[in-house]
Structure 1
């Protein structure tokens, strides 16, 4: 699984700084794709890699959200693109408004990853939207998240990315639960890599 972390701060951040942050995030992601040690690409795809495809940066997809922590998280096995069933808990929810709609997305914590010091505060938001299968990867996309210090956070869909299994079948990736289906076309972040897979 490709993990491109970014802290979700940004309250009071200027538009110019927000755009710069998104560009830096994309630059870092593409650097990882070119590195044989970190790239999820198949060798043949890496050889011809000309960059990832993104929607133009649109700050209307960078939204303020309220984080609500789950009081008594329950362990469950998340479906993946293979037969693997990793254990997760629903760590909390983010409540926000996008395109005039009030939305809620669940935030999850991997029970395997949290045992590793560098990922102990790592959470993620897998989601689907109405662009999947056409403009974006069929299975859905992810947003990285860190355990926040307060209940106000920024969710930036400009930084959402494809799971590693969209680049190679050797990966097993969590499938976004049905509750995280966004009833909108989220034209922000990463587009599908190519027509196959």
Structure 2
């Protein structure tokens, strides 16, 4: 996952801290690692009260029909633009390409982005950013949309990329309004219910 998630150190089950002696909740390794990162008070975006009551994030049931192969059409010489966020911060991005795919028998497309700040960091220069909303947004999932990450190295020889909507995550703003999060562009709305991946967070 992207920098904000990857920077988390997943603490092993052998930790002396008793809270990590309990099995981590989650149906998949992705879910367990995300729950572990949110459980770590030194790195969690959760507010103190929410962290005290945290037992695990809510996910839709894992559904293999939401794992799709998308055709990547790269955008050459895309202009740099300032992406709107939940604050006055305006990080620089470029449109990296258009992803075209079929889901539930219908054709969809999403624009995938590349952070220009990440390009300056050797560790993250291959990361791509895919924000989207769908017909669950504002109800069963976070109203501001969900994120999915990919890498430039994920592209297959035939120009496709696998998108796994089960492995989505919420922007930190879904948990704590002190964070600045990119806003999902309107054109990245999917007119379908994506009942896979992370669900809305119920704050205490």
Structure 2 length as normaliser, TM-score?
0.83
Q: Does 1:87 align with 2:92?
A: yes
Q: Retained in 2: the 8 A contact 1:4–1:29?
A: no
Query: Where has structure 1 moved over 6 Å in runs of 4 or more?
Result: none
Match of 2:166 among 145, 152, 158: 158
Deviations 1:43-87 (A, max 9, x none): 221121110000000000001111121111210111111121111
Structure with larger RCO (C-alpha < 8 A, sep 6+): 1
Q: Retained in 1: the 8 A contact 2:155–2:161?
A: no
Match of 1:186 among 171, 194, 203: 194
Q: Does 1:45 align with 2:40?
A: no
Query: Greater CA deviation, 42-51 or 164-173?
Result: 42-51
Q: Retained in 1: the 8 A contact 2:175–2:203?
A: no
**SS in structure 1 opposite 2:5?**
coil
Q: Retained in 1: the 8 A contact 2:72–2:97?
A: yes
Q: Distance in 2 between matches of 1:4 and 1:60?
A: 26
Structure 1 length as normaliser, TM-score?
0.86
RMSD over equivalenced CA pairs, Å: 1.7
Residue correspondences, number: 180
Q: Distance in 2 between matches of 1:155 and 1:111?
A: 22
Deviation at 1:36, TM superposition (A): 2.1
Which structure is larger by alpha-carbon Rg, 1 or 2? 2
Deviation at 1:195, TM superposition (A): 5.6
Q: Unaligned 5+ residue runs, structure 1?
A: 6-21
